Amino acid sequence: MRMETNETRIVAVDVETPNGRDAAICQIGIVVAEYGEIVKTESYLVDPEVPFDPVNISIHGITPAAVSGAPNFPTLWPRIAEYFTGSVVVAHNAAFDLGMIAGTLERYGIPVPPITYCCTVQMARRRFARETYGSYRLDTLCAAFDIPLESHHDALCDALACYRLYRELLTDFGEDPRDVRPYRRHAKQVQKPAGRFSTESEAGLELRKLKELLDGVEPTTFLNPSDAMAIAHWMDRHVDLCGEPPFDSIYLFLYRMISDKPLTVSEAQEFFRLLNE
């Protein structure tokens, strides 16, 4: 079997975010592998220049004090930009991580490069049913495949685990031609300005479809497996909406929900407000 890691530079990436509203990053972890071997790891705290939410701090432990004096993303980007071109960028739920990176670049007026990527969540979904291990969460799959995950939600720790999961999925289940593909957000920007649908009715139609899917779903409780799967499938089919208001914010809430992190009451109120804009 041909291993993709023996042919291409693989860059595993994970980001942590300060809140659920802004396209912003407070930590990024990067793992570079060549010919199937890790050759470099990098971890950076980032000043997101936006407020932190307590729920995000409770997940990753990064506080405003922790990023005081850290570079903002425009300062950091020249150091890491090379990893996103000429590589296959791998992330666990890549739509989220790449959406945050692309959204942050756009917020600062920096061009988003064309990115070739692979999502380990999608790899897992193509290879076995959710019921096999009970979840597609990174910590669940790491436990199933005996992959170390010593400090979950530290960006470098998660990027290392993601890379090792990528290798395990290729080794145990083989390749799938759908695994590696272009990141579509960049292509969409060429066609029309970021943050705009071609027509208002287009946005309304997508919102109506999403609301129909969420009918009866309670975001402040754990989702049942069938609801989580349906939402995950919708997110995969509509990954290009990550950069379109209000879907950019809605997508972050959906990611939380399918990651078995119920929304707080105030977050659920904001979520429903966005759905009914």
pLDDT of residue 201: 60
Q: What pLDDT is stored for residue 185 in this prediction?
A: 62
Residue 244 to residue 250: CA distance in whole angstroms = 10
C-alpha angle 39-148-104 in degrees, rounded to nearest 5: 65
pLDDT higher than 70, residue 157:
yes
Query: Which of these, 202, 209, 249, 208, lies nearest to 233 by C-alpha position?
Result: 209
| Predicted pLDDT at 209 | 79
In one letter, which amino acid is 223?
L
Highest mean pLDDT among 1-5, 36-40, 189-193, 210-214: 36-40
Q: What is the pLDDT of residue 48?
A: 97
**What pLDDT shows up at residue 192?**
36
Extents of the domains making up the chain: 4-184, 192-275
Q: Does 228 have pLDDT greater than 90?
A: no
Q: What is the pTM of this model?
A: 0.70
- What is the pLDDT confidence band of residue 240, given thresholds at 50, 70 and 90? low
Q: Are 46 and 26 in contact (CB under 8 A)?
A: yes
**Res 239 pLDDT > 70:** no
Mention every residue, 6+ apart, whose C-beta is less than 8 A from residue 66. 26, 45
Range 4-184 classified under CATH 1.10.3720.10:
no
pLDDT in tens, 122-150: 899 899 998 899 888 898 999 999 999 98
pLDDT digits (tens, 9 = 90+) for 159-208: 999 999 999 999 999 999 999 999 976 333 333 333 444 444 666 777 78
Q: For the residues 5-22, what does the mean pLDDT come to?
A: 82
Q: Is the pLDDT of residue 58 over 80?
A: yes
pLDDT, residue 82, reads: 96
